[in-house]
Amino acid sequence: MEKLAIDLAERLKIAGYLSSICCLDRAGDLTNQAEAKGIDVVVMSRKPGIDMSLPITLSKILKNKKVDIAHTHNLEAMIYGTLAARFAGIPVVINTRHGREDKRANWLFWSMNNAVIAISEDAKRRFLTFNRIKYDKLRVIYNGIDAASSEKLDTRSIKEKIFKVDARYKIIGTVSRLSEEKYQVALLDAFQKVSQAVKNVILVFVGDGPLKQALHNYSEKLGIADKIIFLGFRADAREIVEAFDIFALPSLTEGISLSLLEAMAARKPVVATNVGGNPEVVVDGDTGILVPPKDPQKMAEAIIKLIQNSDLAKKMGQAGRKRMEEKFSLNRMVNEYELIYEECLAKK
């Protein structure tokens, strides 16, 4: 979500929009990246619990910056940002809901938004189930990423220097937060079966989160810890994905996964769970393989199939790149947001 906000602000700059990014709590890992791109970052340092003063403070900032459009992301930012924007008399308020969870807000908050964006058709249906909102306010805009590829990267060097293995090893990799909803434990169970069937294979986790130690402990229990690499948070995650042979996503729930799109941009065949927005991204049997959630056996079978059939893996990788360019490019996403901005401004 944070990376998407930076990409959106950077591309909107080219179109003549001046954007600032407001962090309600603290400056995160990507703050320097945003500022290096010339994007102003404002940090609010929200108080614990419900911060009653935050909407007032934020409204003053919006007034001082003469903001025309307040674009909030997810629920808490929507509540604080919508109140602040209306206190400040901002003409257009828009929210993007990045997940597909069942969190709800009072209908009054949605009535104060000019448009609400879901990132998949699945997320839109789920949103409508749990929230009272005018149907014509809710739109779908798929997440998008820059289609540029790092094909000139020396992936052999990444395998040798970062993964500490030689080029003959097959790399199964995933990029995500290490948390309950991503359900990486199923990927460990699947990989145990893969490592018994295939030689010279390792599993790489890129990302950090509260379950990192628990996942490491579980890999030891399964007897595969020597074949698992936990890289933690990496600013160069996209370059590391280039060295993967197969990208795996074992989530229990997903909106439109940017890491999945980046794997497709890198022409990697994907094995993902058939949940949330994943079926809208992955064409089963064409750009990758969809498997049921919480089914390590099916995930292992899909991974082994791709390892043992390099032609199929390559074909799926190429098809995934094409689909990503056609439906999930950053340019397409930014253009659709710009149209909504202009439409909402015109009505005001």
**Residues 25, 119, 235, CA angle at the centre, nearest 5°?**
50
| Distance between first and last Cα of the chain | 28
Indicate the pLDDT class of residue 185, thresholds 50, 70 and 90.
Answer: very high
Q: What is the DSSP letter of 88?
A: H
Q: For residue 104, what pLDDT is reported?
A: 82
Answer yes or no: are the C-beta atoms of 320 and 287 closer than 8 Å: yes
Full DSSP string of 131-184: ----GGGEEE----B-----TTS-HHHHHHHTS---TTSEEEEEES--SGGG-H
Full DSSP string of 47-68: PSS--TTHHHHHHHHHHHTT-S
User: What CATH number matches the domain at 155-327, 3.40.50.2000, 3.50.50.60, 3.65.10.10, 3.40.50.12160?
Assistant: 3.40.50.2000
What φ, ψ does residue 160 adopt, rounded to 5°?
-80, -40
Average pLDDT, the chain: 93
d(CA 84, CA 57): 8
Indicate the pLDDT class of residue 151, thresholds 50, 70 and 90.
Answer: low
> Does position 148 have pLDDT exceeding 90, yes or no?
no
> Does position 103 have pLDDT exceeding 80, yes or no?
no
Tens-digit pLDDT profile for residues 4-18:
899 999 999 988 999
Full DSSP string of 305-331: HHHH-HHHHHHHHHHHHHHHHHHSBHH
Q: Do domains 2-144+329-347 and 155-327 have the same CATH topology?
A: yes
d(CA 304, CA 331): 35
Please tell me the total number of residues recorded for the chain in this structure: 348
Answer yes or no: are the C-beta atoms of 296 and 253 closer than 8 Å: no
Q: For residue 149, what pLDDT is reported?
A: 54
The percent of residues in the chain predicted with pLDDT above 90, rounded, is: 79
Q: Which of 273, 279, 275 is nearest to 295 (CA)?
A: 273
Q: What is the mean predicted confidence (pLDDT) over 296-301?
A: 98
Q: What is the mean predicted confidence (pLDDT) over 289-317?
A: 98
Tens-digit pLDDT profile for residues 49-59:
999 999 999 99
**In the block, residue with structure tokens 């992301």:** 73
Residue 231, SS3?
strand
> Does position 235 have pLDDT exceeding 60, yes or no?
yes
Buried b (16+ CB within 10 A) or exposed e, 289-316: bbbebebbebbbbbbbebbeeeeebeeb
Q: For residue 85, what pLDDT is reported?
A: 97
Q: Which of 242, 276, 271 is nearest to 257 (CA)?
A: 276
> Taking the domains of the chain in order of start, what are their residue ranges?
2-144+329-347, 155-327
> Does position 152 have pLDDT exceeding 70, yes or no?
no
Answer yes or no: are the C-beta atoms of 220 and 192 closer than 8 Å: no
Q: For residue 166, what pLDDT is reported?
A: 85
Q: What is the mean predicted confidence (pLDDT) over 325-336?
A: 94
Lowest mean pLDDT among 35-49, 91-105, 181-195: 91-105
Residue 77, SS3?
helix
DSSP lists the bridge partners of residue 140 as 118
Q: What is the mean predicted confidence (pLDDT) over 165-186?
A: 94
Q: For residue 155, what pLDDT is reported?
A: 77
d(CA 169, CA 166): 6
Residues 6+ apart with CB under 8 A from 339: none
Buried b (16+ CB within 10 A) or exposed e, 230-267: bbeeeeebbebbbbbbbbbbbbebbbbbbbbbbbbbbb
Q: What is the mean predicted confidence (pLDDT) over 37-45?
A: 93
Lowest mean pLDDT among 22-26, 53-57, 63-67, 132-136: 132-136
Q: What is the mean predicted confidence (pLDDT) over 102-107?
A: 83
Answer yes or no: are the C-beta atoms of 248 and 270 closer than 8 Å: yes
Q: For residue 321, what pLDDT is reported?
A: 95
Architecture of domain 2-144+329-347: 3-Layer(aba) Sandwich (3.40)
d(CA 206, CA 147): 21
Q: For residue 91, what pLDDT is reported?
A: 95
Q: pTM for the whole thing?
A: 0.85
> Does position 209 have pLDDT exceeding 80, yes or no?
yes
The percent of residues in the chain predicted with pLDDT above 70, rounded, is: 98
